[in-house]
Structure 1
Amino acid sequence: MAVAALIVLMVVIGGITRLTESGLSITEWKPLSGTIPPLNDAQWQAEFDNYKRIPEYTQLNQGMTLAGFKSIFFWEYLHRLLGRVIGLAFAVPLLWFAVKRQIPRGYGWRLVALLILGGLQGAIGWWMVTSGLSVRTDVSHVRLAVHLMLALCLLAAIVWTALDLLLLARKREARPAHLTGLGAVTFAILFVQLLFGALVAGLNAGLVTNQWPLMNGAFFPGATVAGRSFVDALFNDPAIVHFVHRWWAWVAVAALVLLARAVRPLDRRASIAIHTAFGLQILLGIATVMSGMNIVLAALHQLTGALLVVATVWGVHVIGRRA
C-alpha cells in the first residue's frame, strides 16, 4: 500500500511535469548517475546546453534563462528520482522477504512480474521522451498515453495484490479474489475514460474550450482539422478527443454506480469511496476546463483519477472475494 501511495504521488508529479512543459528538460537517460542533480555552475550549464539543442528550445523557448531552465528541470528530475525511489521501495523488501522465505505460496511470480512492469515503465518513460528530442517540440501524445496507462495499470495491480495479501493475513485459508464479469466490464469502461484523459493531456486538448457542457457554443465541436478519417480524428484531433473524454465520463459513472450498488451490502466503505472519487473527479474535470486549465485544478483532477482507480480496484476486489 505504501508503494501504491508512491505511485499515486508519481502520477501527480508526472501530471505537473506535463502541465509545466518540463518533460524534455533532461535530454539523457542515466539510470544510475542521473540520480545526482547538477551540483555546480558548470554542470548546470552543460545540462542547459543539451536542452538548447532540441526543437522545444530552438522553436519555442529561445532566450530562456538558466533560472527558467532550472525551474522546469526541477519537475522532470523529481519525477525521475521518485521513479527510482519506487523501484527501491518495491525491490529491496521483495528481496528481503524472498531471502527470509516469507512470501506466501503463489505470490512470488506475481510480485516479480510487478517489479518487471515497474522497470518497463521507466523504459517507456524514456521512449516517450525520445519522441520530443529531434523533430517534435513536445512528446508524442500516444507515447504519453502508454506511459500513463501503464502507471495506472501497475497501480491497480499493486493495490489488488495488497488486498489479496491483507485478506490472507486475516484468514490463512483465504484465496485470491477473482475478477467477475461486472468487475471486468467496469475496468474496461474506466480504461477507455482514462485513456482519453491521457490523450487530452498529451494533446493539450483541455485548451480547446473553456465552456461546459457546450464546446465553443456547440454540443459537438467537429474536427479541428478537416479531412481526417474517423479513427485518425478519434485519437489525434484535440477537439474530438476532448469531446469523447467529456461524455464517455457518464458511461463510466453509470458503470461505477452499478459497481458501488453491488459492493454496498458487502463493504459500505468501498461503495462510499467509489461514489466520492467519481463525484470529485467530475467536478474537478469541469472546473479544470472552465478555468482554462488551471494547473492546481488539473493536478487535482489527475490525483483524483488515480484515487478513482484505487477505489474501483477495491470495489471489484470486494465482489471478487465472494466469487
Structure 2
Amino acid sequence: MTIAREKPPSIILQGGRHAGIRRWLWAVALLVFVMVVVGGATRLTGSGLSITEWKPITGALPPLSAEAWASEFAKYRESPQYRLLNQGMDLGEFQFIYWWEWGHRQLGRFIGLVYLAGFLVVAARRLLPWRQTLILFGMGLLLGLQGAIGWIMVASGLEPGMIAVAPVKLTLHLTFAGLFFASIVAFATWLTPPRRIEPSKARGMAWLLLALLFGQIALGGLVAGSRAGFTYNTWPLMDGALVPDAQTLFVRPSFWENFVDNAALVQFNHRLGAYLLLALALWHAVSLRRAAPGSGGAKRATVIAGLTLAQGLLGIVTLLLVVPLWAGLAHQALGFLVLAMGVVHVTRTQGGARA
C-alpha cells in the first residue's frame, strides 16, 4: 500500500523544476480574479463609459492638471450616457466614475505586463518543451484579444442613443475573461504534482459540468448587460409564477432578440441554468462518493457542489436585495471561484500532472 502511494520520480522532478512557473501562473490567475471583481464594480457603479478613448500607451497616465480634467470631462459630456442619463453631473462625480474605469484599465495593463514578463523568461530559458511554450504563447494572444474585446464593448456604449454597453458584447468580454482565467488555472494545475495517483473517473461528467459553468457565466453576463437583476426581484416565483407567460418572455418582435435584450427571458434563463447546474453538481458529487469514496475526484466534486449551492443562494439574495454593490460583486467573484474548481476537477480527471 505504501509503495502504491509514492509519487513517480518524474512527477517529483516536475514539481521541483516548475515551481517558479506555477507561482507565476497562479499570480496571474489571482490578478485576473481581482480584475473580474474590479470590472464588476466598474459596471455596477456606471463607470465603464467615463473614458471615451482607447489609448493603450498614453492612456496609462491619468489627468494631472485642472486643464486635463476639464478636457476629459468635456469628452464625457459629449457621450450619449451623459446626455441621456447623467446630465448635470459635476466634476467630482465624474472623477469618481473616471477613477474606477482608469483603475480597471491599469489593472489590465499590469496583467499583460506580468504575463509577458513571465512568458519571456520561460521562452528564453527554455523551461518548458516547445509545445507547452507555444500553448503559453497562444494564451497570451487570448489575453491580448480580451483587451481588444474590452474596447469594442466600451465603443458599443458610445453609439448614439446608448447609455450602457451592448449586453452581447459585455457577455463576450466576460466569457473571454473566463476562458483566459480557465486556461491559466488549467496549465498551473497540470504542472502541479498530485498528492497521489488515482484512476481517472467521470471525465465526461466533469467536462459537462465545466461547460455548464461557462454557460451560466455567459447567461450572467447577459443578466448584467441587460440589467435584468433589477427587475422581477422575487423568488421562487417570477412575475407571480414559476414560469412567466409567453407574452412576458417573448415580448420583442424578433424571437432571438428576446434572448439577449428581454430582461424577463434573460433572467429566467439564468435561473434555469442555475437549477440545472446545481442538480448536476449534486448528482455528480453523490455518484463519485458512492463509486470512489475518499478519492480526490469525490472530494473535488463535493466541493464543487457546495460552492454551487452557495452561489445559488447568493444569487437569490442578490436578486431579492435588488443587486446591492457588495452582493453583485460577491456573486460574480464566487462564480469565478466555482469555475476555477471546475477547471481543476477536469484537469485532474484527465490524468493529473505529466512529466
TM-score (norm 1): 0.92
**2:188 aligned partner:** 162
State the one-letter code of the partner of 1:167: P
1:209 and 2:232 aligned: yes
Which stretch has the larger CA shift, 99-108 or 232-241?
A: 99-108
Deviations 1:265-287 (A, max 9, x none): 22555334313321221111000
1:212, 1:290 within 8 Å by CA — same for their partners in 2? yes
**2:296 aligned partner:** 266
Which stretch has the larger CA shift, 105-114 or 229-238?
A: 229-238
1:55, 1:137 within 8 Å by CA — same for their partners in 2? yes
The alpha-carbon distance between structure 1 residues 202 and 178, as it changes in their structure 2 partners (threshold 3 A), is: farther
Q: What CA distance in whole angstroms lies between the structure 2 residues aligned with 1:20 and 1:12?
A: 12
The alpha-carbon distance between structure 1 residues 224 and 66, as it changes in their structure 2 partners (threshold 3 A), is: farther
**1:237 aligned partner:** 262
Q: Over aligned residue pairs, what C-alpha RMSD do you find?
A: 2.3
> May I ask how many residue pairs the two structures share in their alignment?
318
1:207, 1:292 within 8 Å by CA — same for their partners in 2? yes
Q: Secondary structure at the match of 2:256?
A: helix
Q: Secondary structure at the match of 1:314?
A: helix
Which stretch has the larger CA shift, 23-32 or 159-168?
A: 159-168
Give the superposition deviation at 1:27: 0.5
Give the superposition deviation at 1:58: 0.7
Which stretch has the larger CA shift, 104-113 or 236-245?
A: 104-113
Give the superposition deviation at 1:147: 0.3
**2:207 aligned partner:** 184
TM-score (norm 2): 0.84
Structure 2: gaps spanning 5 or more residues: 1-25
**1:195 aligned partner:** 218
The alpha-carbon distance between structure 1 residues 3 and 259, as it changes in their structure 2 partners (threshold 3 A), is: farther
Q: What CA distance in whole angstroms lies between the structure 1 residues aligned with 2:261 and 2:344?
A: 33
Give the superposition deviation at 1:183: 2.6
Which stretch has the larger CA shift, 313-322 or 25-34?
A: 313-322
Q: What CA distance in whole angstroms lies between the structure 2 residues aligned with 1:5 and 1:121?
A: 17
Q: Given the alignment, which residue of 131, 142, 145 partners 2:171?
A: 145
2:29, 2:184 within 8 Å by CA — same for their partners in 1? yes
Give the superposition deviation at 1:259: 4.0
Structure 1 stretches of 4+ moved >4 Å: none
Give the superposition deviation at 1:221: 3.0
**2:90 aligned partner:** 65
Give the superposition deviation at 1:120: 0.3
Matching of residues 292-303 of structure 1 within 5 Å: 292-303=322-333
Q: Given the alignment, which residue of 227, 234, 255 partners 2:280?
A: 255
Which stretch has the larger CA shift, 273-282 or 193-202?
A: 273-282
Give the superposition deviation at 1:305: 0.6
The alpha-carbon distance between structure 1 residues 267 and 188, as it changes in their structure 2 partners (threshold 3 A), is: closer
Deviations 1:11-48 (A, max 9, x none): 11111111111100000111111111111111111111
Q: What CA distance in whole angstroms lies between the structure 2 residues aligned with 1:281 and 1:304?
A: 6
Give the superposition deviation at 1:322: 6.6
